[in-house]
Amino acid sequence: MEFSLISLIIFVIVGFLVLSILLYLINAKSRRINQYALALAKLKRSFNELDEQAKLIVQTDLELNKAQEESDKRLNSLEALHKISRLISTTLDESEIFHRLDQAFSTDIDFERGVVLILDDKKQLQIQVKHGYSQDGANFMLNQLQKDNNLMQALMEGNTFSSANCPLQRRETIKQIFNTGHFVIAPILTQVGFIGVVFVGNQSNVSPITDGDEELISILASQIGQTLENARLFEEVYKSSQALESKVTERTKQLQDALVEVQNISKTKSDFISAVSHELRTPLTSIKGYAAILMDGKLGDIPPQVKERLGKINTHSDNLVGLINDLLDISRIESGRVEMSFGRCRLDSLIENVHDLLTPQMRDKNIDWQTDLDASMPDMFLDSSQIERVFINLVGNAIKFTPIKGTITVSAHLKDNVMQVQVTDTGIGIPEEDIRRLFDEFYRVENEINQNVKGTGLGLPLAKKLVEAHGGEMWITSVVKEGTTFHFTLPVKTEEDILREREEREKAQKK
Ligand code: ADP
C-alpha cells in the first residue's frame, strides 16, 4: 500500500515534470511561430511595396518615353523653324520669300497640307503658297474662308486655333473649310495689323496635333509677318530713294540749265556795262577837258558864278568817271578779263599807307585808329594797288558810318597760311536783312547818313570781287547801333603759286 502510494506520488511528480516540460516546449514553439508570422507579414508588406515601385517605374518609363518623343518632335520642329526663318529672312524680295516657303513646306514642315494666304492691295486674301491642295481645292477653300466672317474676324483679332484646343463648333467649321481633320491656323500680323493666314494640317491622325505644334505655327506666322514687313519697308525705301535720285538728277539738270542761263545773262550784262561805260567815258573826258579850259580862262575871263558852276561840273564829272571805272572793273573781273599785277608786298605797310591817306577824314570826326597785327608779317604776293582799294573802301565806309569819337580797328592775323583781316568800327551797324544784299551792285541801306551822303553802292561788290580774285573770301558781321566788322581772307601765296594759277586759268579759258 505504502509502495503504491510512493509510486503514485512519484508518478504524479514525474507527470507534473513532464507536463511542465511539455508546457514549456509548447510555449517556446508558439513564440517562435508568432515571430515567423510577424516576419511573414513584414515580408508581404515589402513585397507589396516592391510591386508598387515596379509599377511606378514602368509608368515613369512610359511617361519618359513619351516626353522624349515629344521633345524630339519639338526639337525637330524648332530646327525646321530655325531653318525656314533663316531661309526667308535672307531675302528682301517678296516673291522669293513665298518661293522659299513653298520649298520649306515640301522639305521641312512635317504636315500633309499647308497654305499661306496674304491680303492683296484690295484687302482680299490671295494664295501665295499651297502644299497638298489642288488648285481647285485651294480656290474652294479660299472662297469658303472669305465667306466665314466670324472666323475671319477671330483671325484678324490675332487668335490662333488648333484641332487640339479649339471649341467644337469652330473645329468643325475649320475642318470643313480646309477639308482637313487635324490642323493649326494662325494669323500673320505686322505693325500695321493683320496681313494674312498660315494653315497647316493632317488628314490622317498619324501624329496628333499638340500644343507645341500650335505654338510653333504661330511663331512661323509671326516670322513670315516680320520678313514680309521688312521686304515691304525695303521696297518702299528703295522706291523712294529711286524717286529721290531721279528728282535730284532732274533738279541738277534744271540748276545746270539755270546756271548756264545766269552765266549768259551775266555775260550780256557785263558786255553791256562795259560797252556803255566805254561810250560814256569819252564824252565825259571831253566835258571835263572843256570845263578845265573854261576854268583856266583860256577862252577869256569868266564871271565867278560861272567858275563856281564849272567847278561843280568838274566834281560831278570826277564822280561819274569814278563810277564808270568801278563798273568797268566789276565787269572786267566778272568776265575774267582783269589783269592783276601781282608783286611782293607787306600788308602792315599797305595798311599804314591807307591810314596816312585817310587820316584827314578821321581827324575831322575825331575817330581813333587802332591796329592789331601779327608781330611778324610774312611777305605776300598781291596786287597791292587793288588790295589798297579794298582797304580804302572798307575804312572809308567805316569813317562814313561811324559817329564822331568812334574807333576803327584793323586787325590781321595769319592762320593756316591764310591772312585773316578785319576792319571793325563802332558805327551805326547794319540791319540783318540788309547784310545779305550788301554785296549786290548798287545796293545801299536806307538810313539817315545815306540820305545825305552820295554813294554808288558799287564799292562793296567791287571790294569783294577783288578779294575773290586773290583767292579770298569776304563777309560781314554787324550789330545795329554797336558797329560793323568786315572780314576778309587772303591766302599767302608764292610767286610760283600765282604763275601756276594763271596757267590753269588760261587753260580753262581756252577750253
Ligand atoms: P556806298 O558806300 O557808295 O554807298 P558801298 O558798296 O561801299 O557803297 O556800300 C554800300 C552800303 O553798305 C552803304 O551805302 C552802307 O549803307 C552800307 N555800309 C557799308 N559799310 C558800312 C559800315 N561800315 N557801317 C554801316 N553801313 C555800311
- The pLDDT value given to residue 321: 86
Plot region of 297 (φ>0 → left; ψ -120 to 50 → alpha; else → beta): left
Q: Which atom of ligand 1 is nearest to the CA of 398?
A: 23
196-241 pLDDT per residue, tens? 999 999 987 767 888 888 998 999 999 999 999 999 999 999 999 9
Q: What is the domain extent for residue 142?
A: 85-240
User: Per-residue DSSP letters for 30-84?
Assistant: HHHHHHHHHHHHHHHHHHHHHHHHHHHHHHHHHHHHHHHHHHHHHHHHHHHHHHH
- pLDDT the model gives residue 501: 80
Domain-ending residue, one of 199, 220, 240: 240
Whether 382 and 505 map to the same domain: the answer is: yes
Task: Let me know whether 499 and 362 are in one domain.
Answer: yes
Q: Which of 438, 439, 446 should be mutated for ligand 1, with most atoms under 8 A from CB?
A: 438
Pocket test for ligand 1, best of 394, 397, 442 (most atoms within 8 A of CB): 397
Q: Using a 6 Å CB cutoff, which residues line ligand 1?
A: 393, 397-398, 401, 425, 427-428, 430, 438, 444-445, 450, 455-460, 484
Ligand 1 atom with least separation from CA of 444: 14
Distance CA 189, CA 109 (A): 20
Q: What CA–CA distance (Å, rounded) separates 498 from 485?
A: 29
pLDDT at 3: 67
For the entire predicted model, the pTM comes to 0.53
How far is 372 from 412, CA to CA, in rounded Å? 7
Say if residue 365 is in the same domain as residue 491: yes
From 390, 434, 460, 481, mutation site for ligand 1 pocket: most ligand atoms within 8 A of C-beta: 460
Cβ count near 336 (within 10 Å): 13
- Specify if 311 maps to a domain: no
Is residue 98, in this structure, part of any structural domain at all? yes
Looking at residues 490-508, what average pLDDT do you find?
A: 83
Asked whether residue 390 falls in the same domain as residue 505, the answer is yes
Distance CA 86, CA 223 (A): 10
Lowest model confidence (mean pLDDT) among 83-87, 204-208, 227-231, 251-255: 204-208
Which residues are 369's β-sheet partners? 408
Phi, psi of 366 (to 5 degrees): 55, 40
Number of domains making up the chain:
2
Q: Kindly report the CATH number assigned to the domain that includes residue 369.
A: 3.30.565.10
Q: Are residues 497 and 357 in the same domain?
A: yes
Residue 364 pLDDT grade (very low, low, confident, very high; cuts 50, 70, 90): very high
Q: Whose CA is nearest to atom 18 of ligand 1?
A: 397
Same domain, 381 and 502: yes
Q: What is the mean pLDDT of residues 500-511?
A: 78
Among 361, 389, 444, residue to substitute to test ligand 1 (most atoms within 8 Å of Cβ): 444
Tell me whether residue 375 is in a domain: yes
Q: Per the structure block, which three cell numbers stand in for 181? A: 481633320
Kindly state whether residues 228 and 376 are assigned to the same domain. no
Contact 189, 217 (CB under 8 A): no
The pLDDT of residue 2 is: 64
Does 231 share its domain with 351? no
Q: Output the CA 377–ligand 1 centroid distance in Å.
A: 29
**Domain of 128: which CATH number?**
3.30.450.40
Average pLDDT over residues 499-508: 81
DSSP string, 344-392: EE-HHHHHHHHHHHHHHHHHHTT-EEEEEE-SSPPPEEE-HHHHHHHHH
Q: Whose CA is nearest to atom 12 of ligand 1?
A: 444
> Which of 240, 268, 288 is the endpoint of a domain?
240
Evaluate whether residue 444 is within a structural domain.
yes
pLDDT at 508 over 80: no
Q: Residues 354, 227: one domain?
A: no
CA distances 272 to 218, 265, 327, Å, are 79, 10, 11
In a domain, 209, yes or no: yes
Q: In this predicted model, what pLDDT tens digit does every residue of 446-468 receive, in sequence order?
A: 888 888 777 888 899 999 999 99
CA 327 / ligand 1 centre spacing (Å): 17
Domain match, 353 and 496 both: yes
Query: Per the domain annotation, does 296 fall within a domain?
Result: no
Q: Is residue 441 in some structural domain?
A: yes
- pLDDT of 173 over the 90 cut: yes
Band of residue 8 on the pLDDT scale cut at 50, 70, 90: confident
**Cα 484 to ligand 1 centroid, rounded to whole Å:** 10
Note the pLDDT tens digit of each residue in 398-455.
999 999 999 999 999 999 999 999 999 999 999 999 999 999 988 899 888 888 777 8
396: CA distance to ligand 1 center in Å? 9
CB 336 within 8 A of CB 505: yes
Among 171, 206, 240, identify where a domain stops. Answer: 240
Q: Is residue 99 part of a domain?
A: yes
**pLDDT band at residue 185, thresholds of 50, 70 and 90?**
very high
The mean pLDDT of the chain is 90
